Amino acid sequence: MPFMQNLSNAVVLAGTYILMAAGLTMVYGVLKVLHIAHAAVYTIGAFIGLLVFTWAGNFWLALAVAMLVSGVVGVLIYRSTYHYMLDAPRTVPLIASIGLFVMLTDLLQKDFLMGPYQKALPAGGAGLPRIQTPWFSLTPKQVLILVVTVALLAVVYLILTRTRIGLGWQAAAMDRDMAAAVGVNLNRVIAFNFFLGSALAGAAGVLVGVYNNSVFATMGDLPSYKAFIIIVLGGMGSLPGTIIASLLLALVENFLVASVGYVLPRDAIAFLVLILMLMFRPHGLLGQE
């Protein structure tokens, strides 16, 4: 039973990692930019989810509005910043992204927004049942994370493989200049890329806020590093690699802590995995050499 329980806990944890890192991977796939400000969008999603849930008391409405607002914020970031840096050296948008992340995080800490204190998000399991088996159990909150993650991944898969704009995104990820030459509207494709990736980050922020019953202005600090580690592990720009890396990292974190205890801080394990990956497979699990 401990093995299956640890495995189920790892899958739930991986769900939040996937939603957070998927958008970062999508942006890197098209622009080859490490979009560090993505973590601020994650926090904004949690904040909007908190506001809507406090007002309406409905988790699903809070999740939908948070994803919509996060997506719009992502598009605004692209249009106001990265749009003017598409042909600049890659260090330029990276520095701009770090500056945006710091600015947005500091802004969120102001009293007229989130303030410096943690706020509760008591949404519970949004009406979903507890799953109890002889081998493992899942709380309603864990079931909620799994349901939302699977549903959103299915939507992303359908968009990317069954729609023209999704196919345009894949073409731009392979070669932006060639995609533009054959008629792909790069501005629309990249803006959609930011909208979808940012919406996923917003969903991750709401789910983590519900799971921990806590939302605060600096909650994106650690996920910014964790998401970077995941996209490196999976192979820069590889969405399937991001999913696999998220599962791998969650499994390592859960089983290592369960087997040897807190020898290392739980979040430090991710950096240890990153070091080992860079030593033996620097291009990531599914990255191209």
Least confident of 152-156, 158-162, 199-203, 284-288: 284-288
Q: How far apart are CA 216 and CA 29, in angstroms?
A: 30
> pTM for the whole thing?
0.91
Q: What is the extent of the structural domain holding 140?
A: 16-221
| Structural domain contains residue 167 | yes
**Average pLDDT estimate for 63-70:** 97
| Structural domain contains residue 105 | yes
**Average pLDDT estimate for 129-150:** 90
pLDDT value at residue 224: 81
Q: In sequence order, what are the residues at sequence separation of 6 or more whose Cβ sits closer than 8 angstroms to the Cβ of residue 120?
A: 213, 214, 215
What is the average pLDDT value for the chain, to the nearest integer?
A: 86
| pLDDT confidence bin for 41, thresholds 50/70/90 | very high
Domains identified in the chain, total number:
1
- Specify the amino acid at residue 47: F
- Specify the amino acid at residue 161: T
| pLDDT confidence bin for 259, thresholds 50/70/90 | low
pLDDT value at residue 263: 61
Distances from the Cα of 120 to the Cαs of 36, 48, 73, 78, 117, in angstroms? 26, 13, 23, 31, 10
Return the closest-CA partner of residue 240 out of 287, 192, 190: 287
Res. 70: pLDDT tops 80: yes
| Structural domain contains residue 262 | no
Return the closest-CA partner of residue 219 out of 12, 20, 34, 42: 42
Res. 37: pLDDT tops 80: yes
3-class DSSP state for residue 231?
helix
Q: In sequence order, what are the residues at sequence separation of 6 or more whose Cβ sits closer than 8 angstroms to the Cβ of residue 154?
A: none
pLDDT value at residue 133: 85
Q: How far apart are CA 234 and CA 270, in angstroms?
A: 13
| pLDDT confidence bin for 165, thresholds 50/70/90 | confident
Query: pLDDT tens for residues 119-137?
Result: 998 887 777 888 888 888 8
| Structural domain contains residue 251 | no
| Structural domain contains residue 187 | yes
Q: Beta-carbon neighbour count of residue 118 at 10 Å?
A: 16
| Structural domain contains residue 195 | yes
Residue 22's Cα: distance from chain center in Å? Answer: 5
The structure tokens 């507890």 sit at 130
Q: How far apart are CA 23 and CA 156, in angstroms?
A: 11
